[in-house]
Structure 1
Amino acid sequence: MGDIRVLIADDDQEIRDLLKKYLEREMYEIDVAVNGEEALQLFEQNKYNLIILDLMMPRIDGIEVCRRLRDKTNVPILMLTAKDHETDKIVGLSIGADDYITKPFSINEVVARVKALLRRFMVLGSDGISLDSSSLKFKGLTLDLKKCTVIIRGEERSLTAKELELLKFFVTHPEQVFTKTQVFRNVWGSAYIEDDNTVMVHIRKLRKKIEADPSNPQFIQTVWGIGYKFVGEKDEN
C-alpha cells in the first residue's frame, strides 16, 4: 500500500505533538491540523490512510468534520473524546467514525488502536476502496469487497470501512450467534469493550443501509439476551 499517511486534528498542541512523535516512530507520515477547518483543507490536498479527530475543536468541530469526510471517503476515522461527552461519542459513531478513545488516554493504547485499524484495512486503498476483487453473495444481498459496497435487491449502497468490516464478519459466519463483546473483539481488534454503544450504534447504522425494515431485520438479527447473528441463504449463481 506504500507509505502510510495519518492526519491528526486536535487543537491541543501537547496532544498533537505526543501523537505525532509516537506515530512517527512507527514510520507513518504525519500531518497535523489545529482545527476542523484546517483538517478539511489538508484532506482535500492529500491522501490519507487514517484520520484522528478530536471532537471538541474550534471553527468546525469533530462531529461536523467527520460528517463531511464521510460524504467523500471511507478512510478509517479514530475519534478522541472526553469521558464526560457520552452523547457526542455516540453521535460520532453514528455518523461514521470507526473507533473512539477517551481522554485522558494511554499513548500506547492510541498507537495500538491505530495499528489495529490500519491492519484491518490494509486491503483498502487510501480512498477506502478495497483492492480485493472477491464478493460474497446471498439472496437479496451481495457484499462487493472491491467497490466497498453492498447490493440490496439490485440497489447499490455505499458502506464505510467499519461497516464493511462488520458486515463481512457477519456474512462469513452465517447463523452463528455472537455477543457484543465477541463482535467487538473480532471487528475492532480488541478484547476489551468499554460499553455496548460502539457495537449497537454500528449495527443500527448498518441495518438502515441493508434492511428493508430496520426495526424488523431480515439479515442481521438480534438474539435476545445473547447478541446477534446473520441470516441469509447463499446465492450459488
Structure 2
Amino acid sequence: MKKYTVCICDDEQPIRDKLKKYILRYSFAYDVEIDLIELDAAEKLYDLMNPYDILFLDIRFGNRSIGIDIAEELRKRGNTSIIILTTALKSMSIDGYRAEPFRFIVKPFTEEEIIAVLIACAHKL
C-alpha cells in the first residue's frame, strides 16, 4: 500500500474540511494511506517538523496574498514537496509560478478536480 503525507494549509475551515473529505475519499478509492496535516496559517509551515509529500497551499490568508511568497521561501529552504496552490483569484496563478507549483486549483473546486490532481501527484511521486 502506498503512503503519503498531505498538508492542507488554508485559513478557511470549510475549505480545509472539503479538501480533507475529498482526500480521504481518494485514499479509500485508490487504496492509499494518507496522513493529514492541517494548518490555518501559512507561517506555520516554517515550523513544521514532519515532512509532507504534498502541500495544498492557499494563496490568500485574510487580506494578505502571502501563500506564493511562503511557497517560494520553502523552495529556497530546500523543500521539494509537491505544491498545489489554491486560489479564488485566477489572476494570482501567473504570479505563483515563481514558487514552482505542481498545479493550481481554482476555488470553488470539485471532488473530481482534487482526485485528478492527487492521481497526478501519485504518478510524480
TM category (shorter chain) comes to 0.7 to 0.9
What SS does structure 2 have at the residue aligned with 1:28?
Answer: strand
Gap regions ≥5 residues in structure 1: 123-237
Number of residue pairs the alignment of both structures matches: 117
Structure with more helix by fraction:
2
- Within the alignment, does 1:66 sit opposite 2:71 as a pair? yes
For residues 7 and 93 of structure 2, what CA distance do their matches in structure 1 show? 20
Aligned to 2:61: 57
For residues 85 and 19 of structure 1, what CA distance do their matches in structure 2 show? 19
TM-score by length of 2: 0.83
Deviation at 1:107, TM superposition (A): 2.0
Amino-acid identity (%): 32
Aligned to 2:30: none
Aligned to 1:20: 20
What SS does structure 2 have at the residue aligned with 1:32?
Answer: strand
Structure of greater Rg? 1
Deviation at 1:85, TM superposition (A): 4.2
TM-score by length of 1: 0.46
Equivalent of 1:110 in 80, 93, 114: 114
* Higher RCO (Cα < 8 Å, 6 or more apart): 2
What SS does structure 2 have at the residue aligned with 1:110?
Answer: helix
- Within the alignment, does 1:93 sit opposite 2:74 as a pair? no
CA contact (8 A) 1:49 1:118 kept: no
For residues 5 and 106 of structure 2, what CA distance do their matches in structure 1 show? 23
Which stretch has the larger CA shift, 108-117 or 51-60? 51-60
In structure 2, relative to structure 1, the CA distance for the partners of 1:60 and 1:46 (3 Å cut) is farther
Gap regions ≥5 residues in structure 2: 28-32
Amino acid at match of 1:67: E
